[in-house]
Amino acid sequence: MDAISQSSIPGGASFHLFNSHHEGQSDPTKFDNDRSQAHEEIEYRSRAIHELISKAINYARSSATVLITGESGTGKELFARLIHKSSQRAKGRFARVNCAALSASLMESELFGHERGAFTGATERRLGRFEWARGGTLLLDEISEIPISLQAKMLRVLEENEFQRVGSNQDQIADVRIVATSNRNLAEQIENKTFREDLYYRLNVLWLDLPPLRQRPDDIPVLANHFAMQFRKDAKSDLKGFSKKALRKICEYHWPGNVRQLRNTIHAACVIAQGDHIEVDDLPEFEKAPMRKIPAWMISMTLEEIERRMILEHLDRTHGSKTLAADVLGITTRTIANKLRNYQDQGLLHLE
């Protein structure tokens, strides 16, 4: 494994794009999914990520399930792919199921497949992800959102390595490595009876907890540099780097949306920038805000009222995008949709 990069922020007026390469990495602007050193796809300089990469590679030698936790946008899927590519299943398929994006009925069919005639519209047999990824790895993204009605079936697959397609009584063999991710507190969900305790322990054989970007500030300039190199091609730009002031703003911000938010910010800046360096004025306005303090208006409001205001304000700032608002708030799009429905039922919101 490569040593942690010893590159540092130059003390001059700008941060040039060629100064943050990892040691031994010839061109970090390229994502080569077939590289033998899969961990090189993770840009970092912090000791925390270095240690997590070592853990992930060690976990890959086992077939045990892995639970990866962390806030939205911290890179959980990258670590899941690292485990897959470092394992004996690396030549097999890597399949991902977004548990937050599917209803209970659709999720069951997506995971286990279905037989012809199993339900209205099932005109032919369809293989689910467990069969499609046979011999490989299956990522259950946001496992906390899996409906309680499906959790018993998921537990059976994990314990017995068997499942049945929807509309069939015939057992199928599940030959996949399971990696699950969550940005929610599963212990709280267990207490609230929305997540099975036995399923939690079956998933949490091996555990990785990814720290938010604000807790590993050494990674911010490395990531910003990497994304600038990546997106200047898309913007057909001759950018050479960041101005000193712009880089300072980027490094001082607390990034509630973590790496995903940083990536989108640098992408926008690469498109907006007119000169050969990204300046402070090229950064989206909300990125320049200082660390938030608790405003006075919160003191006289209930928790539910604060939650409602935060959701609606973030939807307004993102021009109605549930995905962007969910990323910043650290919740799922399904949660936002359910909240909006509740607000409408209570007469607190009128949707056109």
Task: Look at the block and give the residue holding tokens 């394992």.
Answer: 87
10 Å Cβ neighbour count for 151? Answer: 17
Among 9, 165, 150, 181, smallest CA distance to 80 is for: 181
Longest dimension (CA), the chain: 69
Q: How far apart are CA 278 and CA 262, in angstroms?
A: 14
Give the end of a domain, one of 160, 186, 209.
209
CATH classification at residue 62: 3.40.50.300
Q: Is residue 157 part of a domain?
A: yes
Task: Look at the block and give the residue holding tokens 């499942």.
Answer: 163
The amino acid sitting at 82 is L
Q: How far apart are CA 20 and CA 37, in angstroms?
A: 19
Contact 47, 4 (CB under 8 A): yes
CB burial readout 93-113, b (16+ within 10 A) else e: ebbbbebbebeeeebbbbbbb
3-state secondary structure at position 180: strand
3-state secondary structure at position 175: coil
Sign of the torsion angle spanned by Cα atoms 144, 150, 152, 156: negative
Q: Is residue 8 part of a domain?
A: no
Tens-of-pLDDT digits for all 352 residues of the chain? 332 232 333 333 344 443 333 433 333 323 233 333 455 689 999 999 999 999 999 999 999 999 999 999 999 999 999 999 999 999 999 999 999 888 777 888 889 888 888 877 778 888 889 999 999 999 999 999 998 889 999 999 999 999 888 888 888 888 999 999 999 999 999 998 999 999 999 999 999 999 999 999 999 999 999 999 889 877 777 888 899 999 999 998 989 999 999 999 999 999 889 888 999 999 987 544 444 445 555 655 677 878 888 888 888 777 788 887 887 788 888 888 888 888 877 777 655 4
User: Both 184 and 252 in a single domain?
Assistant: no
243 to 128, 265, 271, 329: CA distances (angstroms)? 50, 15, 16, 29
User: Both 95 and 196 in a single domain?
Assistant: yes
Question: What is the pLDDT, as a whole number, of residue 350?
Answer: 57
User: Both 158 and 279 in a single domain?
Assistant: no
3-state secondary structure at position 318: coil
The continuous run of DSSP H or E covering 284 comes out as none
CATH classification at residue 302: 1.10.10.60
Question: What is the pLDDT, as a whole number, of residue 328?
Answer: 77
Q: Is residue 35 part of a domain?
A: no
User: Both 284 and 333 in a single domain?
Assistant: no
Beta bridge partners of 297: none
User: Both 186 and 233 in a single domain?
Assistant: no
User: Both 256 and 312 in a single domain?
Assistant: no
Give the end of a domain, one of 209, 240, 273.
209
User: Both 198 and 136 in a single domain?
Assistant: yes
User: Both 227 and 340 in a single domain?
Assistant: no
User: Both 107 and 253 in a single domain?
Assistant: no
Q: How far apart are CA 7 and CA 17, in angstroms?
A: 12
User: Both 99 and 161 in a single domain?
Assistant: yes
CATH classification at residue 269: 1.10.8.60
Q: Is residue 36 part of a domain?
A: no
Q: How far apart are CA 294 and CA 291, in angstroms?
A: 10
Q: Is residue 17 part of a domain?
A: no
User: Both 81 and 204 in a single domain?
Assistant: yes
Q: Is residue 5 part of a domain?
A: no
Give the end of a domain, one of 288, 310, 336.
288
Question: Could you give the number of structural domains in the chain?
Answer: 3
Question: What is the pLDDT, as a whole number, of residue 170?
Answer: 87
Question: What is the pLDDT, as a whole number, of residue 87?
Answer: 96
Q: How far apart are CA 49 and CA 219, in angstroms?
A: 9
Instruction: Let me know the angle formed at the C-alpha of 255 by 254 and 259, rounded to the nearest 5 degrees.
Output: 140
Contact 266, 224 (CB under 8 A): yes
Q: Is residue 38 part of a domain?
A: no
Q: How far apart are CA 326 and CA 56, in angstroms?
A: 27
What is the residue range of 223's domain?
216-288
Q: How far apart are CA 88 and CA 167, in angstroms?
A: 33
Q: Is residue 149 part of a domain?
A: yes
User: Both 231 and 319 in a single domain?
Assistant: no
Structure tokens at 25: 């990495």
